[in-house]
Structure 1
Amino acid sequence: MTLRLSRRSFIAGSAGLLAVHPFSVHAAAGQAHLRLMETTDLHVHVFPYDYYADKPRDTVGLARTASIISDIRSEATNSLLLDNGDFLQGNPMGDYIAYERGMKDGDMHPVIAAMNTVGFDASTLGNHEFNYGLDFLMKSLAGADFPVLSANVVKQMGASPTADIPLIKPYTIIDRTLTDGAGNTHPIRIGLIGFVPPQIMNWDRRHLEGKVETRDILEAARAYVPQMKEEGADIIIALSHSGIGSADESEMMENASVPLAAVPGIDAILTGHSHLVFPSGTYQDYAAVDANAGTIHGKPATMGGFWGSHLGLIDLMLERDGGSWRIAGHASEARPISKRNEDRSITALVESDEAVLASVQQEHDETLAYVRRAVGKTDANLHSYFALVADDPSVQIVSNAQTWYIKEMLQGTEYEGLPVLSAAAPFKAGGRGGPEYYTDVPKGDVAIKNVSDLYLYPNTARAVLVTGAEVKDWLERSAGMFNQVTPGKADQPLINDSFPSYNFDVMDGVTYQIDLSQPSKFDPKGVLINPDANRIVELKYNGEPLDPDQKFIIATNNYRASGGGDFPGAKGDTIVFEGPDTNRDVIVRYIVQNGTVSPRADANWTFKPLDGASVLFDTGPKAEDYVDDVKGVTVAPAGEGADGFARFRIQL
């Protein structure tokens, strides 16, 4: 492929004729412009296609990003293309390969085939690479024409990280030839090192326990970076599948990119995991982060969105310093593949790269056939437009299926007969995904694509044993979704935008109200901040006040049960059942067994009335079609929201 050849020739002197970036234009003898290009969180999105909605989508797809890559390579004299992880799981194509087609020795995973076609120089593992197990992962990686790295996942720990037996290569040092401003060529040794959140041991415990271990990201970096320097790396780039979070270091941080950037010897940092863009105003007030300059601790950084939405860019002006190189200047940006217009429509900024499409065409067609299979019917509309503000049918069907499954699985065990509650969260609820990012399944046939839409992740079913007190605190943790509201005040913002929708668990099997006049008991990360707060009121089981000492089973998923989201009663030590089935498969089996399902919301939760108070929230514009279906609260249109969303009002 031409793109592969372009990578392997490293954009040598002839490309300098096309260079337009100021670093390439102004580089003198002994100075060279090196461009780092980053994709992150691709999640198997190769085609610009939404398999859940079964229609093209201009905002996603490596095939679209590849067109940007081709153009951007021509702007720089020298370049590297790097991926920052979470490429193997995340849409129905990934599930089709994992659960239907499988991966035998020698098989090529479609996302790897696409990445080979584009011509990546290296990648790191993301946390979702482990969702299908180590055997699937290693067979998939075997087809990569580029090194895949991870410094903090090990088969066996030694006395220090450098004495570990790693799962895969922790780092690589690649030898390249740079063309300077005078057209002369010089060797350079570029070190690349990868990191993943150590929380994979909780999130995918069933696949990893007893097989691998994880180290703290910063511990691994401080051990390996000096070793890379000793081996001759002129510059070192961290591929950090870890978000931009606190500047204060803590042990086993999930979002460790800020303190990681401060590690001596790291020259530039590629970030991801958070599905956001850097540089951008999102990070304006973060310590040690310059959101305008695109730096973390003064070092260039980028985050290229998700699903191929952006290409992260770091431009380095390198200068010869004796026999090695130093960074004399840098710039960062993130280039999008589409833009949203004032009328809410989307304009694609690039077309797809035909070679990339061709590399996965067969698997794309097979995925379409896979997701279009009907498994049953629903006599209720399944939508998530109001899932954050009212009991909701798209969450209800998940809870119904989980309850059915766990009750069946616990028959004949010591836990049979205990009351079973079900915790489920809305996954597609707008937010960073945009105003079209909602579940919307009309009455009628329910296909696999619809089930995937209802439950995005390949989680497996779990059950935990908790007390009534833990049920209440579980709900208190979930109620952090909402801002505190002042009684008597109109049109207050309802949703806490820093709270992810997948941590907004709705509990079926109990009834309760949420008192918004109270502060949240927990912060968005699950840290206890207001011990005396009580947002959850009128909490009842079978119509009676819930006994804090009573035992309950909660049906949930492996992520939550193993500590994901840091919920009271779900820290990994209360699991009493680990199912072999994914939650999606549970939903499919539930629909198949019932033939026709009626997952109508029963308004088992709502907000406590607050005299004279009203709140505003944003949702998808199509929500207006379902206003009359909302149970437990009265919602009314309130104009346009930001970025293509529609605004609605609730009178409390």
Structure 2
Amino acid sequence: MNLCGFDYYSDTSDPSIGFTRTANLIRAARSEADAQGALVLLCDNGDSLQGTPLGEWAVEPENAPHILMRAFAELGYDAIGLGNHDFGLGLETLDRTIADAACPVICSNAHRQDAEPSWQDHAVFTRAACYGEQQVALKIGVFSVLPPQTAKWEGHRLHGKVVMGDILTCAAQKVTDLRALGCDLVLALGHTGLGPTEPQPDLENAIIPLAGIEGIDALIAGHSHLTLPGNAHDGVEHVDASRGLVHGKPVVMPGAFGSSLGVIDLAINRTENGGWTVQDHRTSLRPVCPSKSGMSSEPVAEDPDLVKLFAKGHLEIRRRTAQPVGQTDQHLHSYFSFCAPDRGLVLTAAAQAAALRPFLQDTPFAALPVLSATAPSKFGGRAGPRFFTDVLPGQICLRHVNDVYAFPNELRAVVVAREEISDWLEMSAAVFNQIMPGQETTLIDSSRAGHNFDIIQGITYQIDLSQPSRFDASGRLIDPAYRRIWNICFDGHPIAADQQFVVALNNYRANGGGHFPFVDRVKPIALPILPFQRVLRDYLSGVLPQDPLHQMPYPFEFAPIPGATTLLRTGPKARTCIAELKKYDPYVVGEDDEGFLLIRLTL
């Protein structure tokens, strides 16, 4: 939920994002359509309720009706699709929010088991449109789908209450249903990205085979935070990335955080039997800021009506996040999380362990060593070159806690042995490209999510990037001979096959997020609800004691690859910290066309 063009973690404005700016693009696009006598349908494609501190304020009962639902009403939205993160605050909160919506909220493949759903299965709109000199009535059907994995990722909130169905099976049925209802056009709101090109059961990113279903006329994609049209999907089978076409059908994917407005223009024609068909189509993205790095001098102006609507919450969040919680004598940043010690990750790992230890006392797990797994939550990537943790030494405020750990996750714990640890780390190391001498490439595989790079504090290990990845993005073993992780040690000694550990981790990973292959083989430990950001706040304030993991050696290092170099893609502010990369003989190449700083590392 990036309603304002503002970064609450650094307490500074951010001209590259924000619904207050997207709103101006919406009003302008609507005016253009009205001038041409064109019919307009305005939709949201999910994950709009969570993601910044303002989202948590918005769902407090005393702040009802929900400010985003009020904004959607102000702008005349026709339909709202749900995304996986919209379930992250729990069903009671989601139900209450949906009750404030002035238009249909749709989720076609989420089926409520314990009560009537607050969302709709689909929506049908009958709208007047100009066809030549005639006014005609068009019947437009809309359905919405999201990753079925949501039921696992949010299993602690949804188990026994919501079942998520397969995207493609659901979509095929919805097309049949909507056509049977007499719909002339069918729009798919797909909170799902571009992944496999052929149909498979339970796909997380299903847009390509989804677009291949006969009877869908246009699609809105999402979830992966990438963009379409654009070069992010160049060369993908069945995709015309420059024109925004998948299987020849118009698709827009407008990034994330309110950074762009996606527009699909359809020209329709009568068929011989009196129906309608799409004769021509055009897709486009309209960014709120021409430069993704936020350095443009001419971002889109903020919509004054929405600025006024969001003002109370905006000021309250700035006040709350300024509250002091502790001190740090270290610079906590994530510019080098993938190659050098990240003190913010160490802090988070130690806080998790400190919160967990009291719950292990007087249990069968009390004598087991405690490890702690954590991953960067702000690492640039698809969110752009400003999206990094950056907390200077000195006073720590609540906004800094959110900057170090941005996700509203909860603490979990599992019991693992060496095999599970090895698979865990192999899947984590899959975020890297294979590095070979004389073949310079970027360090990180852009198709992998950076928040799946878990480090496990309390052990040490080497990562050999000259080897191929052992697992693919779905957690499938590619080849048993592929192995990047070596020399896994605890307390300076190799881990025995039967040695067990307790690992503190977040609910997303424990519930199967990231498709890590160890999840179904480990023993979970029951814990009460322990929100991560509260755990981190209590650790910084001294409520929780300093944990031994805080002083342990940093977990990983790269195995040397003589003659090999790679490019680290990071934020421009990393220039001030480059001494931390001394072991790699760093060389600053410059900035790329997205504003990322490129640093050559010698491995």
The share of aligned pairs that are identical, in percent, is 37
Query: Which of 537, 543, 546 in structure 1 is aligned with 2:495?
Result: 546
Aligned length: 595
Query: Which of 557, 565, 571 in structure 1 is aligned with 2:514?
Result: 565
Q: Does 1:336 align with 2:287?
A: yes
SS at match of 1:459: coil
Q: Does 1:536 align with 2:485?
A: yes
Which is worse superposed, 642-651 or 78-87? 642-651
- Counterpart residue identity of residue 49, structure 2: L
Residue equivalent to 1:134: 91
Q: Does 1:507 align with 2:464?
A: no
Query: Which of 345, 366, 377 in structure 1 is aligned with 2:295?
Result: 345
- Counterpart residue identity of residue 57, structure 2: Y
Question: Structure 2: how far apart are the matches of 1:612 and 1:594?
Answer: 49
Q: Does 1:92 align with 2:53?
A: yes
- Counterpart residue identity of residue 495, structure 1: I
Query: Which of 283, 289, 307 in structure 1 is aligned with 2:233?
Result: 283
Post-superposition shift, 1:596? 11
Q: Does 1:147 align with 2:104?
A: yes
Question: Structure 1: how far apart are the matches of 2:323 and 2:214?
Answer: 54
Question: TM-score, structure 2 length as denominator?
Answer: 0.94
Question: Structure 1: how far apart are the matches of 2:528 and 2:68?
Answer: 28
Post-superposition shift, 1:424? 0.7
SS at match of 2:42: strand
Residue equivalent to 2:385: 435
Contact 1:239–1:271 (CA<8 Å) still a contact in 2? yes
Post-superposition shift, 1:268? 0.9
Q: Does 1:404 align with 2:319?
A: no
Contact 2:372–2:504 (CA<8 Å) still a contact in 1? yes
Contact 2:457–2:554 (CA<8 Å) still a contact in 1? no
Residue equivalent to 2:322: 372
Q: Deviations over 1:136-187 (max 9, x none)?
A: 0010111111110011111249xxxxxx9755211010111112343x3111
Residue equivalent to 1:603: 554
Residue equivalent to 1:32: none
Cα 1:344–1:366 shift into 2, 3 Å: closer
Q: Deviations over 1:178-217 (max 9, x none)?
A: 12343x3111111111111111111101110011111111
Query: Which of 401, 413, 422 in structure 2 is aligned with 1:472?
Result: 422
Contact 2:225–2:383 (CA<8 Å) still a contact in 1? no
Contact 2:355–2:535 (CA<8 Å) still a contact in 1? yes
Residue equivalent to 2:25: 68
SS at match of 1:78: coil
- Counterpart residue identity of residue 79, structure 2: A
Residue equivalent to 2:310: 360
Q: Does 1:444 align with 2:401?
A: no
Post-superposition shift, 1:609? 2.1
Post-superposition shift, 1:344? 7.7
Q: Deviations over 1:317-341 (max 9, x none)?
A: 0123354322111111111111129
Question: Structure 2: how far apart are the matches of 1:544 and 1:255?
Answer: 41
Question: Structure 2: how far apart are the matches of 1:297 and 1:189?
Answer: 24
- Counterpart residue identity of residue 484, structure 1: Q
SS at match of 1:191: strand
**Root mean square deviation, CA, Å:** 2.2
* Structure 1 gaps, min length 5: 1-43, 158-163
Question: Structure 2: how far apart are the matches of 1:250 and 1:627?
Answer: 44
Contact 1:423–1:507 (CA<8 Å) still a contact in 2? yes
Q: Does 1:612 align with 2:553?
A: no
Which is worse superposed, 265-274 or 492-501? 492-501
Q: Does 1:424 align with 2:374?
A: yes
Contact 2:110–2:164 (CA<8 Å) still a contact in 1? yes
Contact 1:154–1:165 (CA<8 Å) still a contact in 2? no
Query: Which of 595, 598, 603 in structure 2 is aligned with 1:647?
Result: 598
Residue equivalent to 1:180: 131
Residue equivalent to 1:262: 212
Question: Structure 1: how far apart are the matches of 2:89 and 2:521?
Answer: 20
Contact 1:84–1:125 (CA<8 Å) still a contact in 2? yes
Post-superposition shift, 1:595? 9.1
Residue equivalent to 1:117: 74
Question: Structure 1: how far apart are the matches of 2:79 and 2:109?
Answer: 17
Post-superposition shift, 1:515? 1.5
Contact 1:113–1:360 (CA<8 Å) still a contact in 2? no
Question: Structure 2: how far apart are the matches of 1:111 and 1:548?
Answer: 52
Q: Deviations over 1:374-403 (max 9, x none)?
A: 111111110111111112112111111111
Cα 1:470–1:565 shift into 2, 3 Å: same
Residue equivalent to 1:298: 248
1:206-221 → structure 2 map (5 Å cutoff): 206-221=156-171
Cα 1:609–1:120 shift into 2, 3 Å: same
Question: Structure 2: how far apart are the matches of 1:384 and 1:566?
Answer: 24
- Counterpart residue identity of residue 557, structure 2: T
Cα 1:72–1:600 shift into 2, 3 Å: farther
Q: Deviations over 1:251-309 (max 9, x none)?
A: 11111112112222211111111111111121122222221332211211111111111
- Counterpart residue identity of residue 399, structure 1: A
* Structure 2 gaps, min length 5: none
Question: Structure 2: how far apart are the matches of 1:177 and 1:570?
Answer: 52
Post-superposition shift, 1:604? 3.0
